[in-house]
Amino acid sequence: MLQHELTERILRLRGVPTLRSLPANELALIARSLQARTFEPGEILLNEEDPPRSFFLVTSGRVTMRRRGARIGTIRAPGGVGFMSLLARNAGGTAAVAETFVEALELRGDTLEEVFEDHFPVLLGTVRFVAERMIHENIGQPPPPYIPPDVAFDHLVGDRELGIVERIFLLRRMRAFTEANVNSLATMARKMVEIRAPAGEVLWRPGDRAEHNFFVVKGVLSSTWKIPGGGAAVQQIGPGYVVGGAESLCSLPRWNELVTGEPVVMLRGDRDGLIDLMEDDRDLALRFLSMLAGMLMTTWDKKAEAGIPSIGGAPDSVPPPPDSAYQTPGP
């Protein structure tokens, strides 16, 4: 491979926010593993029926993205195709078709997982990238209705604080933690602080510093925020929900007001505890990332059903390589 071609590939990889922190020698290894691909108009890059195994760095041309038959946007070079699907590990569901003649570089999923395994900061950066996208989508969407857990938690709450066994039981109710190592969960559970608050207490307001999240065990809370373009949204939050985790993980300020609607019992977890858990248990971190990416794609599905494109129009989501405008990585 010629040096100028290798340099160009490294620049493309540095345009992916979750990879730019890698040292140059690591990026060079990945750059050499990229496979150059071309697609004629109408040719398929990703098929809805196939599980995603790669994502593409589009260097020229345009690609139409669809999920479940609904168009979700267009990716123009330079941009990424298939990134979120790969992270979500879902069984397909996304179609990418070349609108024009397309040149792309293919990065295989097993290569990306090796990077995650060897470089935790890259994995953590990817988790934060997806979490920040989730915040952006949540602010602009009507909130979903509250769905109570299949198994009620009331029987766990008494006059004394929740013990370690009860805490592990509750953490296992979270989809990302269902298969987590018990010792890892026990370490995290011991660091959590039980909070009991009366009705009408304001737990935070927009702009407050975010350093922790709440796992709701008992009681109902209301989350209220301003919708871009005017109006306000109100979401009811109850047992089984985790609130405030995304902005805490991303070190962003609170974007909503959280108020208790009745007396509540919650477990407060801090950002560092979650990060330590993910660093110690990479499989758990990958499941957590997959959960976030899947939730984001579900949000995109709902927008697509309403005829609202989700990708191709957020220039700040992926910083550009020099002299170009990199676009949102497609699902």
For residue range 265-293, what is the model confidence (pLDDT) as tens digits?
Answer: 999 999 988 898 889 888 889 989 998 99
Based on the fold, state whether residues 139 and 268 are members of the same structural domain. Answer: yes
3-state secondary structure 171-193: HCCCHHHCCCCHHHHHHHHHHCE
Based on the fold, state whether residues 172 and 247 are members of the same structural domain. Answer: yes
Task: Give the model's pLDDT for residue 314.
Answer: 36
User: Is 70 in contact with 120 (CB distance < 8 Å)?
Assistant: no
Residue 157 belongs to domain with CATH number: 2.60.120.10
Our count of domains for the chain comes to: 2
Based on the fold, state whether residues 139 and 264 are members of the same structural domain. Answer: yes
Based on the fold, state whether residues 187 and 300 are members of the same structural domain. Answer: no
Task: Give the model's pLDDT for residue 247.
Answer: 94
Task: Give the model's pLDDT for residue 1.
Answer: 65
Task: Give the model's pLDDT for residue 328.
Answer: 44
Task: Give the model's pLDDT for residue 320.
Answer: 30
SS3 284: helix
Based on the fold, state whether residues 137 and 264 are members of the same structural domain. Answer: yes
- Which residue blocks in 172-312 are alpha helix, DSSP H? 182-191, 245-250, 271-280, 282-305
Phi first, then psi: give them for residue 65, nearest 5 degrees: -110, 135
What is the maximum span of the chain, computed from C-alpha positions, in angstroms? 70
Task: Give the model's pLDDT for residue 104.
Answer: 93
Q: How many whole angstroms from its chain centre is CA 185?
A: 21
250 token code pair? 């991303």
Based on the fold, state whether residues 161 and 192 are members of the same structural domain. Answer: yes
Based on the fold, state whether residues 61 and 145 are members of the same structural domain. Answer: no
Q: State how far the Cα of 112 lies from the Cα of 109, in Å rounded to an integer.
A: 5
Q: State how far the Cα of 103 lies from the Cα of 243, in Å rounded to an integer.
A: 42
Task: Give the model's pLDDT for residue 139.
Answer: 86
Which parts of the chain register pLDDT below 50? 313-329
Q: State how far the Cα of 267 lies from the Cα of 288, in Å rounded to an integer.
A: 19
